[in-house]
Structure 1
């Protein structure tokens, strides 16, 4: 498949993934239940460079979860100060590297969570459910792409 076709197909798939999450979010009572800004960067990796180690399901789901967990722990027990924002982000990077779950978009999670005052429920929605939706759609899309667009 040519780079141009791949680029358009990846863009369409990213559009669909964010569209699904945005639609589910619009059906929710409050915004931000299915969608968060770092998912925009996640779809770049999942659909644009699917073979990258940074785009693998384990990295997407656990990278988002671990960094979000750190953000919630910090907002709950430490508070939000310039130093705590920096420390939480650094701990997120360290955790992803140590657990081999590095997913760069997840590095934004502690900052997002701490600046917007999120609670423990944020770990389930949007973090876990949203990242799982992206991963499932990525797996389906990439399987279809290989089957139908990459002919030997």
Structure 2
């Protein structure tokens, strides 16, 4: 590989359609805004107990990776981010208070959070971290109370607001909408239900929406015919 081609490859990886630079800048902005505004909000009631709460929670970093680096992922959509993080955080706090032991509370909280997120159709990997963090905090020597939900909720909502603005301004509609690709008339044809059936036969969870798979196959077929 020549120096010129290597430079071109680096630029493509950094500044391309989903280059790392775009995701890094967006995630940095999202965390900065979420932390800064939450910090200001917690300090409005001077002398209040809210000032003892954190202005940032660690699982937000993982949510930022999904929202800004893979905005088309089903795991990175607004409902999974908001519902997954907040429901899991509530489950963690409840488990910590009800069980008391950090080891058992953390184990139960993560398992319960996965079950609830799956049933509520808001599976979000950082939700597991929220559940564990809150379970450990609520069962620790200075147990977290429900006021800890305030900074977590503000963090998550501000991250989503930044993700909505940044992704849409940089050419990635968020919430994600599958590309509209006209179906190619071929024999034998397939339907969306066929894709669903194949995924069920595989018995695996792929991190891609069925409609995106359909659009991808149709784009390949059109390209092949062209």
Please, what TM-score do these two structures have when normalized by structure 2?
0.60
Give 1:150's aligned residue. Answer: none
Give 2:178's aligned residue. Answer: none
Of 113, 118, 136, the match for 2:161:
136
Query: Given the alignment of the two structures, is residue 23 of structure 1 paired with residue 36 of structure 2, yes or no?
Result: yes
Of 138, 143, 151, the match for 1:126:
151
Residues paired across the two proteins, number: 145
Give 2:109's aligned residue. Answer: 88
Query: Which structure carries more helix by proportion?
Result: 1
Give 1:76's aligned residue. Answer: 97
Structure 1: distance between partners of 2:91 and 2:106:
10
Q: Is the 8 A contact 1:80 1:114 kept in 2?
A: no
1:111-144 Cα deviation digits (max 9, x unpaired): 2112223211222x22221111111100100110
Structure 1: distance between partners of 2:163 and 2:81:
11
Please, what TM-score do these two structures have when normalized by structure 1?
0.86
Structure 1: distance between partners of 2:123 and 2:74:
8
> Quick check: which has more Rg, 1 or 2?
2
Query: Given the alignment of the two structures, is residue 55 of structure 1 paired with residue 65 of structure 2, yes or no?
Result: no
Q: Is the 8 A contact 2:82 2:157 kept in 1?
A: yes
Query: Given the alignment of the two structures, is residue 106 of structure 1 paired with residue 127 of structure 2, yes or no?
Result: yes
Structure 2: distance between partners of 1:61 and 1:76:
23
Q: Which runs of 5+ in 2 are unaligned?
A: 1-10, 44-50, 139-143, 173-226
Q: Which has the higher contact order (CA 8 A, sep 6+)?
A: 1
| Displacement after TM superposition at 1:24 (Å) | 3.0
Give 2:85's aligned residue. Answer: 64
Q: Is the 8 A contact 1:25 1:35 kept in 2?
A: yes
Q: Is the 8 A contact 1:50 1:142 kept in 2?
A: yes
Q: Secondary structure of 1:101's partner?
A: coil
| Displacement after TM superposition at 1:69 (Å) | 1.0
